[in-house]
Amino acid sequence: MVVDNGSELEVHVFHSSSEEAMEVDSGSDLEVHVFQSSSELLAKLHEKWSPVKKQPYPAMYSSIFGGIILDPAMMMIPIDDHMVHRGHGVFDTAILLNGHLYELDNHLDRFLRSASKAEVSSPFPQSTLRSILLQLAAASKHKKGTLRYWLSAGPGNFLLSSAGCPTPAFYAVVINEDFSQCKEGVKVITSTIPMKSPQFATMKNVNYLPNVLSKMEAEEKGAFASIWVDEEGYIAEGPNVNVAFITSEKELVVPFFDKILSGCTVKRLIELAPKLVEKGLLKGVKLANIAVEEAKGATEMMFVGSTLPVLPIITWDEQPIGDGIVGELTMKLSDLLWDDMEAGPETHRTPVPYKD
């Protein structure tokens, strides 16, 4: 169990499942196997994972189990968890790079703001959540990847309201994900999928069906992703990333956050970009409403998000952005962020307490 005593918090690590049938599809003759014991089911789960050479999820935390799980066969969420069957939950993601978690505290702040908007309480104070995440990253033994975590209304029943759930749940997983600085440009389209209303778009909740359909729509048209435009005709965001522009006057412009998710990475970019202003490369940095015509007339365009951190956009709706090549200022902004992720101040990079 998790014992909350501040900096002395130690999370138990489950090292194996011991510490804690296929369906034959033949039409009307289908016979569904019934597992008669937990040991039989565990054997089946381990059979599934045994051929996997590269473990994609080296460690998971579950407040339901009360510790860290290293056995992938046991990385589960209860089926009656309201995040599963009602979408009543929020999440966030932090980057693990060079043994540090990037922007962890800013991500946690946004995580708890999202939870408050979604009326999901936390089973632990923020300091305990932070400690759990750091211990989880350490238990994974990975120096690079992503750390994704969720707050849920919790398990309890299959009703619409979570009032009957005895306690909220906290889950987290380290994902063995490789990523590098993006240097190639991509194509985007304008999405025809309706974007979320501001109430839901400004919180990072698990209801991502519009985001999924928007991404799929782009992929079906040979593009990387899509751009949402709000009902007033202003640029909003991508399916899971922010978007930014370089104008012909060499200003970095980012859409206001009043109707979209306030991205931690793009906010950090806004803090770092004045370095290019000081060098005379940029003339300014601002948040603004950006009409579609104005946006398509930009000289450079980019997505900004955690694992990118900056992705150049060279074509939008089959029309080139600027010269149709990766922009020089886009890459200079990307260099600023990447350098910050790799070797920036520890106010933005939290070291993971690995054990020898």
| Active-site annotation holder among 117, 183, 187, 204 | 204
| Terminal C-alpha separation, the chain | 24
Distance from C-alpha of 47 to C-alpha of 215, rounded to nearest angstrom: 33
Asked if residue 306 lies in contact with residue 264, where contact means CB atoms within 8 angstroms, the answer is yes
204 is catalytic: yes
Distance from C-alpha of 59 to C-alpha of 56, rounded to nearest angstrom: 9
Residue tagged 């519009």 (tokens): 210
Residue 258's Cβ-side half-sphere holds a number of Cα atoms within 13 Å equal to 6
Would you state the structure tokens that stand for residue 41, as one six-digit string? 């089911």
- DSSP letter at 159? S
Distance from C-alpha of 168 to C-alpha of 64, rounded to nearest angstrom: 9
- DSSP letter at 77? -
CA 209 to chain centroid, in Å, comes to 15
Distance from C-alpha of 90 to C-alpha of 163, rounded to nearest angstrom: 17
Q: What DSSP line would sit under 245-309, residue for residue?
A: EE-TT-EEEEE-SSSS---HHHHHHHHHTHHHHHTTS-SEEEEE--BHHHHHT-SEEEEE-TTSS
Tell me the residue ranges of DSSP E strands in the chain.
12-14, 59-62, 67-69, 89-97, 100-102, 145-152, 169-175, 186-190, 225-227, 242-246, 251-255, 284-288, 300-304, 310-316, 319-320, 349-351
Q: Is 18 exposed, middle or buried (0-12, 13-18, 19+ CB in 10 A)?
A: exposed
**What one-letter code names the amino acid at 311?**
L
Catalytic residue numbers read 204
